[in-house]
Structure 1
């Protein structure tokens, strides 16, 4: 019997002036542990006239994790942060009761050819922290734990696993880590994992119980303790998951909450201009059309 419960393929999604591959949420799997949203950005070759310009937009009830493989993004927010994220670094922004940020191509790259490739992830906050004060944390590439074991290359981007801990200040029991291999290998890590687990194939191929899986797919495990698979040479995967939050989460646009009333209030606050503002940035992203019943984001 297969240990894979669901296979999720990337679906195209337009985030304004940029097309991404959406992975979570999925119609039959809204979350994996506390992970509520994953977009795969690129890989994209942008010319001198193409830039990322996602204007100021709000979040509540979650932490965002931005992780790049190529390119650069300038992050600005209403805490006063102005931080460029480069490949291998981690931006971890916790919205709590409300934050506004923008994401743009850095000024020095705006008139050149460039690349962009990375992951954007939302992690839902525990119920008692959904209204916490917003915070921001940036980790340089050298701050992220990396190690080798039996010919495999590991990087622990967030959370705790294998007796190691990332410096990223997460708020629930979770893990998000990378495995790379230069040769075909069988990976047996189930005894190290907990909660719900999923595997994202960035490049290469993964074999599980005789089935071959190609990139741009998430494989969701039925039982994390039985996590075993084969990685072909030149494969990179990201394994993520953790303990599920006990309450259902609702998602509307950039808002995540266990309480629909908080989402409704956030909508009103954004339309009324009651969120904080980023100095010098006026191209606010408008609230999308209201969807009755707070149908989760696809």
Structure 2
């Protein structure tokens, strides 16, 4: 019996010179462990004066993780945090009971132009943490464990693997690794994580005798941890963890009950109607725009070409 349960191709969308590939969720696989959303952002080149402008939008009951290979972005949220993220660093935003944030190209990067490439994920919070207080944590690249394994260079972004532990906050058993692997490397996947997957950002690998090409995610059968055999110089993201149970997604909201999703929608509408003053959601300081619920009138600002970029 094959160790591979499913191979998922990325569904690419061109947002006016900016490509995004959605991997999770798909109809046949809604999540891998606590990972309920996985996007490859770019690679994209922005000319001087151009950039990303994702207006403020809300999240509940999840944590988002942004990780870049190239370029930079500015995060701003309703906690008052403003943080630029650069390659190898980690932005962890815990929505909990509710948070609003924006993602934009900062002034310096916009003026100079840049090449942008990275991964953005959503992690469903376990039931006892869904409504915790929102929080934000930034970790410099040098804080993350880096080590060799099977001829590849690995950086542990989240969780535990191979007797290493990431300093980034984890709310349930999880693993998330960035691997740079030359042709001929052989990476034995970490055991004890329940559900595992590997996404090939670039290059080509083989798992359980089956080829996995660039832009594809191999999801492995529960409990399986095959060896990834690298057939060409590759960049690979390894992810997984314990199954935390059913989760429902609606727009930017994730929750263990559909009633919570409806409440989040109502709270966002009420916050817009109330001008974000003493309302369930607030805008990040200095922001005056927002993204409406899908199908609602867009009174937040004229939409930008990259507005529906599914960033976290």
Indicate whether the TM-score tops 0.5.
Answer: yes
Q: TM-score, normalised by structure 2?
A: 0.88
Query: Aligned runs of 1:273-292 on 2, under 5 Å?
Result: 273=271, 274=279, 275-289=281-295
1:46-125 superposed matches below 5 A: 46-125=46-125
What is aligned with 2:254? 256
CA deviation profile, 1:45-99 (whole Å, cap 9, x unmatched): 1112421000110000100000000110000001110100000000000000000
CA distance in 2, matches of 1:150, 1:4: 20
SS of aligned partner of 2:111: coil
Contact 1:161 1:193 (8 Å CA) reproduced: no
The answer to whether the 8 Å contact 1:194/1:225 transfers is no
| Alignment match, 1:293 | none
Could you say what the CA RMSD is over the residues aligned between the two structures, in angstroms?
1.8
- Following the alignment from structure 1 to structure 2, what is the Cα–Cα distance between the partners of residues 271 and 220? 37
Tell me the TM-score normalized by structure 1: 0.92
How many residue pairs get aligned? The number is 289
Partner of 1:294: none
Structure 1 pair 87–17 and aligned structure 2 pair: CA distance change class (3 A): same
Instruction: Look up the match of 2:226.
Output: 227
Q: Displacement of 1:240 after TM fit?
A: 0.3
Give the match for residue 216 of structure 1: 215
1:1-298 map, 5 Å: 1-13=1-13, 18-189=18-189, 192-246=191-245, 248-273=246-271, 274=279, 275-289=281-295
2:65 counterpart SS class:
strand
Partners of 2:208 and 2:226 within 8 A in 1: no
Offset from partner CA, 1:229-260 (integer Å, 9 cap, x none): 311241121110000003x1110011000011
Q: Distance in 2 between matches of 1:211 and 1:242?
A: 23
Distance 1:38 1:110, change over 3 A: same
Aligned residue for 1:205, secondary structure, equals strand
8 A contact 2:152–2:186 mirrored in 1? no
Deviation string, structure 1 residues 183-226 (Cα, Å, up to 9, x no partner): 41333335x34210000001111113433221111000014434
Question: Which secondary structure state, in structure 1, belongs to the residue aligned with residue 112 of structure 2?
Answer: coil
